Chain A
């Protein structure tokens, strides 16, 4: 394996800086965001590299658990931050986080114990990267799904109320929107599975190949990961969107959009 020096990374980073500069000159307004995103990635990944070095050395379940918890809480915050109309209060945050916890940790635990059969099952070299991939994808899915769902219900409130008026239950009245949310959330992983190998060599496989692993083994691991991601994301989104559908109607099957935060467009701003 070719070892990377900081000079190598600086060279690669110069491309990102160039992109930001062009953005800035053309007044496209994304220059700052690009640089900030790149800077965040450098800081976060460097820190994680350092932390993982110690975690791998300790091989302690509590240390692995703490890292997992921190990852989960950040994922929950990310989901909440990406909502146009989040639920009022903290209920949305906890619902998204719980959904990701159940599905990502559940699927991850299943993969580690039943499929891989690791001893001990929490062996950090496997547990943390696996959980990271599951959680990252689940987070994107849950964020997309919840946003699509609450936006859709809000947009089509007249039609939903028409259904309720005709005696539909809240669950039935939100069916079409739950379906759309699930579809939206699963599109990235469905695309990834469809294009895997044909268009893209997915991240994990690339990593193993670059690290000198045999391609066939790398392919098998990638298949495992794709399955886990599809299941983890799907279950997480199902849970989160079901909760949202439950929450947007009360016990008398009334649509309760007052439970979502309202969006105010500043005066004079055209969007």
Chain B
């Protein structure tokens, strides 16, 4: 039996309890829970951005065995709020010509404008495209559709499913929208006070 894509064993963040999680290739898993429950901390630990205890393995290889930058290219984390380091939109992309802006309903002209002129929803989608340039195998998406209108949300969901199907990757996403969780997630987890539990 091949190793699961992502395996989490006894992962502890801060003083929380140990959490386990299995992610099979192609899976789209939902993560729900109130604000401040530790969903983002959990994601950050999976991406190795904060100190934590326990074991995280990608295709049977432990996190510690990867150089941290390489790990983060494989396990891509999209924070709820995007951050930008240059005024130019274009300089945040490695190969702008190959980025499928249209698939998310974005105009390629945005590249030539300043970051300050982007709307929150545009930033959110551009941040996802920026992350996908690394072709991560596992996606950790923190409220990826929070500031999108209905139509853009539909585009993003379809785009995401397509990416997972083509790449054989898997994703965990958080959402405060119960309908979206039911509609998209093959499996759902709930986080409360840093404790993870599967939603039956």
A residues sitting closer than 8 Å to B (CB atoms) are 156, 158-169, 176, 250-255
Contact of A166 among B48, B51, B72 (CB under 8 A): B72
CB distance from B52 to the nearest CB of A (A): 10
Which of A158, A169, A251 is in CB contact (< 8 Å) with B83? A158
Q: Across the A-B interface, how many residue pairs have beta carbons closer than 8 Å?
A: 54
Chain A residue contacts of B48, Cβ below 8 A: 252, 254
Contact B131 A165 (CB under 8 A): yes
Whether B79 contacts A169 by the Cβ 8 Å rule is no
The interface of chain B, by Cβ under 8 A from chain A, is 47-51, 68-70, 72-73, 76-79, 81-85, 127, 130-131, 133-134
| Known A161-B49, A252-B48: A167·B85 in contact at CB below 8 Å | no
Closest chain A residue, CB of each to CB of B47:
A165
- The reply to whether A159 and B85 contact each other, CB–CB distance below 8 Å, is yes
Cross-chain contact A167 with B82 (CB below 8 angstroms): no
A161/B73 contact (C-beta < 8 A), A166-B131, A252-B68, A254-B48 known = no
Nearest residue in B to A254 (C-beta to C-beta)?
B49
Q: Given the complex of chains A and B, what is the CA–CA distance between A133 and B99 in angstroms?
A: 54
**Given A161-B49, A252-B48, A254-B51, A167 and B70 touching (CB < 8 A)?**
yes
Residue from the list B47, B69, B131 in contact with A168, Cβ < 8 A: B69
Could you tell me if A162 and B83 are in contact, using CB atoms closer than 8 angstroms? yes
How many Å from the CB of B63 to the closest CB on chain A?
9
Complex contact B69–A253 (CB within 8 A): yes
Contact of A169 among B51, B69, B82 (CB under 8 A): B69
Specify which chain A residues have a CB less than 8 angstroms from the CB of B70 in the assembled complex. Answer: 167
Q: 27 A-B pairs, CB-CB below 8 angstroms?
A: A158-B81, A158-B83, A159-B83, A161-B79, A162-B82, A162-B83, A162-B84, A162-B127, A164-B49, A164-B72, A165-B72, A165-B76, A165-B77, A165-B78, A166-B72, A166-B73, A166-B130, A167-B70, A167-B72, A167-B73, A250-B51, A252-B48, A252-B68, A253-B68, A253-B69, A254-B50, A254-B51
